[in-house]
Amino acid sequence: MAQGKGNIGAQIIDATIVDFNLPGWTVDVRTQFDQKIYLDIPVSSPYLHWNNGEGIYALPEVGAKCAVCLPSDSTPPFVLAFLMPSVTQQSQFFDVEDDDEKEEGEVDPESTAVSYVGNRDRPKMGDIVLKGRDGNFAILHRGGVLQIGSSELAQRIYIPLNNVITDISQNYKHYNSGGAINWGVSSLPSEDNPPTSYKQTFRLFANEGSDDTPPVISATVRVAIGTFSDIVKEPSADGGGQISNLEQLGIGTDADEPIVCEIVLSPGGFVADTGGLTENATKNTTLRFFFDKKGSTFLRCKGSILLTTDEKFKVVAPKGMEFESEESIVFRAKTFAITGPELCEIGGKLTKINGGTKPVATVGSAVSMTVLVPVPIMTTAGPGTILSGAVFSGVITSGNPTILC
């Protein structure tokens, strides 16, 4: 509908969006009282660049209530603003308290007040809110706080006090050229108490794994914490000893006390973005450290381990300690003591003390003895003499069980 030419009084009329033209960014509206139709009219905005299009804009939906301006200079009409329809209901901006103090039959005046709330959240004075129908929002709070999110469990809050950034999420994923973080509720099914997990991967090089066929964006290090099922297995070929020891000691093998933290170094062993295992995860592992829910701990590495301290170092194991080596075990100290209140046992084909080269005879050992000087003896035939150099053989039948060197 067109207006006549010439300067006339401008009009602002209530209308409703009945259709929109997406390619042309125009809408069709119907006025509220006289039911006139205005076709293909533009929608105003707080700011729009005349050519490049940057600015603040939104595509209105059918049914939205608007104010249409009919300009005084006879130029085409346009949507000036959008309005919230008024309804007679209790306003969400009013807090009705002390209901018990109202007299019987008394009508709360706020219960019949005209409201323009329209399901909008209650802001604070001075807040600037941008909100979508599906719950996504951006709020500029007074005091400098910025709140951006798509739901209550998917948002980020910027707080100028101490420059704090707070993230709130049910599941958090961060992807980076150096790795990824996957943190939140596990995909394992559970209704009442869903398990959670945290996985972070680290890539040593930006193009790690890209030369594989097919290409797999892989990572070398993974940290997994929480409840997760894809633990890195011990290799069965060369790691049978570790598997046996884990089973004997009950480390990470109890279903009721599962592994809750695992750190693994395995070149190309992990999918960088999800933290999942590749087919090379087990065989490429050079370091694996984990502990289970009851605190049992395991560490395996292909390299050497050096532990130093400038103070005392103490290990307490009330139920026993074992040291195993296929080559040698060396202890060096200015003073060295081994005590066993009940039993001190040293076993081996050959035992040396103080670098000795001669064997020490004990009770039950077969020995031979050489006489150094003539020894007079008495026999049934009369007096006699054992000459020097004579050799006797025998078995030691008594002695002191303590060795002091």
pLDDT tens digits, one per residue of 264-292: 999 999 999 999 999 989 999 999 999 99
83, 114, 144 - which closes a domain: 83
Is residue 366 very low, low, confident or very high in pLDDT (cuts 50, 70, 90)? confident
Look-up: residue for tokens 């996957």?
A: 182
Q: Verify that 215 and 253 share a domain, yes or no.
A: yes
- Give the integer Cα–Cα distance in Å for 301 and 320: 23
Which has more confidence, 343 or 311? Answer: 311
Mean pLDDT of 349-359: 75
Q: Verify that 272 and 215 share a domain, yes or no.
A: yes
User: 220, 265 in Cβ contact below 8 A?
Assistant: yes
Q: Verify that 193 and 261 share a domain, yes or no.
A: yes
User: 125, 147 in Cβ contact below 8 A?
Assistant: no
Q: State how far Cα 356 lies from the chain centre.
A: 57
pLDDT of residue 209: 67
Q: Verify that 156 and 181 share a domain, yes or no.
A: no
CA distances in angstroms from 257 to 59, 226, 306, 334, 369, listed in the order given: 55, 12, 30, 43, 64
Whether 112 has a pLDDT exceeding 70, the answer reads no
pLDDT of residue 373: 85
Q: Verify that 260 and 290 share a domain, yes or no.
A: yes
Q: Verify that 145 and 194 share a domain, yes or no.
A: no
Report the number of distinct structural domains present in the chain: 3
User: 297, 317 in Cβ contact below 8 A?
Assistant: no
Q: Verify that 165 and 184 share a domain, yes or no.
A: no
Q: Verify that 179 and 295 share a domain, yes or no.
A: yes
Mean pLDDT of 221-247: 85
301, 323, 348 - which closes a domain: 301
In a domain, 100, yes or no: no
In a domain, 95, yes or no: no
CA distances in angstroms from 214 to 248, 275, 279, listed in the order given: 41, 18, 13
Is residue 206 very low, low, confident or very high in pLDDT (cuts 50, 70, 90)? confident
CATH number at residue 67: 2.40.50.230
In a domain, 353, yes or no: no
pLDDT of residue 401: 52
Domain that holds residue 266: 173-301
Mean pLDDT of 91-98: 46
In a domain, 385, yes or no: no
Which has more confidence, 216 or 34? Answer: 34
Q: What is the pTM of this model?
A: 0.70
109, 134, 169 - which closes a domain: 169
- Gyration radius from the chain CA atoms: 44
Q: Verify that 146 and 193 share a domain, yes or no.
A: no
- Give the integer Cα–Cα distance in Å for 336 and 178: 49
Q: Verify that 159 and 191 share a domain, yes or no.
A: no
Q: Verify that 281 and 231 share a domain, yes or no.
A: yes
In a domain, 325, yes or no: no
Q: CA angle at residue 296 from 290 to 299, to 5 degrees? A: 40
Q: Verify that 165 and 207 share a domain, yes or no.
A: no
Whether 173 has a pLDDT exceeding 80, the answer reads yes
pLDDT above 70 covers a percentage of the chain that reads 86
Whether 140 has a pLDDT exceeding 50, the answer reads yes
CA distances in angstroms from 301 to 38, 89, 214, 288, 305, listed in the order given: 77, 70, 29, 6, 8
